[in-house]
Amino acid sequence: MTKKRKSYKTYTKEFKLEALRLMETSDRPSSEIAMQLGIRRNQLYKRKPQMTTKGDVASAKRGRPKKEDLSETAKLRQENKRLKEENEILKKAAVFFAKELN
């Protein structure tokens, strides 16, 4: 029998920022703060560099952005990549059929 995996909990940006603020300002150990908030201690440590380098924490959204959310440049890059791949396939097919005629 297979065991179903627990779904991931998603936390709001405000919750993440508050957790980091508690870790920075409190004199309690981070493990105690994490236990109180119901998260793992390493999550606090993972978010800290995100906050210092990006000035923001990771959003709750997962995965690749939807096509309608992509910028025009990103859409054009995707289409360009697809067309280049199709062009390569057609070139290989032309060489194959040219060899077959000889």
More confident residue, 82 or 39: 82
Q: What average pLDDT does the chain have?
A: 81
pLDDT of res. 34: 86
Same domain assignment for residues 54 and 81 = no
* Rounded alpha-carbon distances, angstroms, from residue 81 to 42, 72, 77: 38, 14, 6
Residue 2 lies inside a defined structural domain of this protein: no
The reported pTM is 0.45
| 55 and 78 housed in the same domain | no
- Interatomic CA distance for residues 22 and 30, integer angstroms: 9
Specify whether 20 is located in the same domain as 55.
yes
Over residues 57-62, the mean pLDDT reads: 56
pLDDT for residue 91 is more than 90? yes
Domain membership flag for residue 92: yes
Domain range enclosing 16:
10-59
DSSP letter at 60 equals: S
Distances in Å between the Cα of 71 and the Cα atoms of 37, 41, 61, 79, 84 are: 37, 36, 17, 13, 20
pLDDT of residue 90: 96
pLDDT tens digits for 18-40? 888 888 888 888 888 888 888 88
Our count of domains for the chain comes to 2
